[in-house]
Amino acid sequence: MTDFKGLSPEFLGGVRGKRVLVRSDLNVPLDDGRITDDGRIRASVPTIKALADAGARVVVTAHLGRPAGAPDPAYSLAPVAARLGELLDAPVAFATDTVGASAQETVAGLADGQVALLENVRFNAGETSKDDAERGAFADRLAALAGADGAFVSDGFGVVHRKQASVYDVAQRLPHAMGGLVAAEVEVLRRLTVDPARPYVVVLGGSKVSDKLGVIDNLLGKADKLLIGGGMVFTFLKAAGLEVGNSLLEEDQLDTVRTYQERAKELGVEIVLPTDIVVADSFGDESSARVVPAAGIPADSLGLDIGPESGAAFAAALADARTVFWNGPMGVFEQPAFAGGTRVVAAALAAHRGADVLTVVGGGDSAAAVRALGFDEAAFGHISTGGGASLEFLEGRELPGITVLEES
């Protein structure tokens, strides 16, 4: 195991009066300028607060959504600055640009222990550019905000799988440290891949099998049981010879899914599929929701959740697990009639605590589902803040934003 640089007492001891550029993941869902889930802001607070308390002049950089490399008011971080200030219980100075006049002025105005947030880093095309020189030029300007004796802290776990200026290139330009959030995420994910406590149960759902192929591929060789629900389950059911009506189906993945079934058999890994399904006449039609056997999905209906019998079977499989990784809702949890399966799995995990038990929820929608259904986040061992990043880690891929911190 790697020794993490984290925010060590040595690092914190050396930041007083210095400017520390922090890459956080503040990419929260917004509805008409209102933050609908502030989970990622909350998760970013401890590192920012630790630096401010240590006397650093903290300059936070982050992105929101996918603006087209130019300023776009719909993706402004201004509401996030306000919320961050509330959570820190301290004012957060907001720069209305990324590295321009406002950013320079804002950063220059910081006193020891104060915090500033720069406008959406993706308002500058250099952030995500595939051209090393263009990205590097932007990183130079970000690094310049920290100044000659400044430092960089990488704490945006949701973006560490991206080779982007504020994630990757700045780390090559400034003394750097891994933030507490990234360190915690990496440590937990390593426990899922290196010598996990057994039984190890993986629950997969969500919309598409094709999104999760790499994870299934890599975890099939590590888990004892794979419980499958969500939209992807219909490709598994179809591959097993069942009819799935109008349910989500990826025909082009049928062969791949069959090879998973074969490999699972060879490895002695059990793939558990639902035996009953909540179907409806059309997508999202709650009034026609009803439970049918998985082997009897009517041709003119579509499956939108796993049924109660399946939920009970999944919960039973989770009860004696010592390691659980859950990614992907079991159904269209956004609608109450199709939220039952997701609720049962979440409840089974929330009830399953113990010193020797590790339960991890990964995936943006899964984490949002847990919160939306009213579960206490503290009831889970770990809720990953980075959907794509945690999946890429579990696929066994190298994450550029982590590698660059460990390189030098």
As annotated, the active-site residues are: 40, 208, 364, 388
Q: Which amino acid is at 28?
A: V
Half-sphere exposure of 363 (CA within 13 A, CB side): 20
Residues 129-158 close enough to bind ligand ADP by CB under 6 A: none
Answer for which of 158, 179, 245, 328 binds ligand ADP (CB under 6 A) is 328
Answer for which of 362, 364, 386, 400 binds Mg ion (CB under 5 A) is 364
Q: CA torsion angle for 229, 231, 232, 237 (degrees, to 10)?
A: 70
The stretch among 43-51, 196-204, 254-262, 362-370 that binds Mg ion (CB under 5 A) is 362-370
CB distance 381 to 341 below 8 Å: no
Kindly write out the interface string for residues 205-244 of this chain, putting x where it contacts Mg ion by CB under 5 A and - elsewhere: ----------------------------------------
Nearer residue to ligand ADP within complex by CB, 67 or 303: 303
CB of 304 to Mg ion, least distance (A): 16
CB of 160 to ligand ADP, least distance (A): 17
Q: Is the dihedral of CA 81, 82, 88, 90 positive or negative?
A: positive
Q: Does 334 bind ligand ADP (CB under 6 A)?
A: yes
Nearer residue to Mg ion within complex by CB, 297 or 391: 391
Q: What's the DSSP call for residue 281?
A: S
CA–CA separation, 190 and 402 (whole Å): 13
CB of 334 to ligand ADP, least distance (A): 5
CB distance 339 to 230 below 8 Å: no
Answer for which of 44, 235, 366, 385 binds ligand ADP (CB under 6 A) is 366
The stretch among 55-63, 79-87, 153-161, 356-364 that binds Mg ion (CB under 5 A) is 356-364
The stretch among 138-146, 182-190, 197-205, 364-372 that binds Mg ion (CB under 5 A) is 364-372
H helices of 246-339, in order, are 254-267, 308-319
Cα 375 versus chain centre, distance: 17
- CA–CA distances in Å: residue 394 to residues 22, 102, 223, 327, 400: 25, 40, 12, 11, 14
Q: Does 104 bind ligand ADP (CB under 6 A)?
A: no
- CA–CA distances in Å: residue 212 to residues 206, 207, 286, 390, 392: 9, 9, 27, 11, 10
- Partner from ligand ADP, Mg ion, none contacting 150, C-beta within 5 to 8 A by type: none
CB of 49 to ligand ADP, least distance (A): 28
Residues 225-264 close enough to bind ligand ADP by CB under 6 A: 230-231, 248
- Partner from ligand ADP, Mg ion, none contacting 334, C-beta within 5 to 8 A by type: ligand ADP
Please give the structure tokens belonging to residue 120. 């959406």
Answer for which of 304, 318, 337, 360 binds ligand ADP (CB under 6 A) is 304
CB of 395 to ligand ADP, least distance (A): 13
Answer for which of 274, 331, 340, 400 binds ligand ADP (CB under 6 A) is 331
CA–CA separation, 78 and 206 (whole Å): 31
CB of 146 to ligand ADP, least distance (A): 33
Please give the structure tokens belonging to residue 70. 């130019």
Q: Does 365 bind Mg ion (CB under 5 A)?
A: yes
Q: Does 364 bind ligand ADP (CB under 6 A)?
A: yes
CA–CA separation, 360 and 282 (whole Å): 33
- Partner from Mg ion, ligand ADP, none contacting 211, C-beta within 5 to 8 A by type: ligand ADP
- CA–CA distances in Å: residue 291 to residues 187, 276, 302, 304, 373: 40, 7, 11, 10, 21
Please give the structure tokens belonging to residue 312. 């009970």
- Partner from ligand ADP, Mg ion, none contacting 361, C-beta within 5 to 8 A by type: none
Residue 347 burial (C-beta neighbours within 10 Å; 0-12, 13-18, 19+): middle
At 360 the three-state DSSP class reads strand
Q: Does 58 bind ligand ADP (CB under 6 A)?
A: no
The stretch among 2-10, 93-101, 344-352, 357-365 that binds ligand ADP (CB under 6 A) is 357-365
CA–CA separation, 402 and 159 (whole Å): 10
CA–CA separation, 186 and 5 (whole Å): 12
CA–CA separation, 162 and 138 (whole Å): 15
Residues that bind Mg ion (CB under 5 A): 364-365
Residues that bind ligand ADP (CB under 6 A): 205-207, 211, 230-231, 248, 303-304, 327-329, 331-332, 334, 363-366, 387
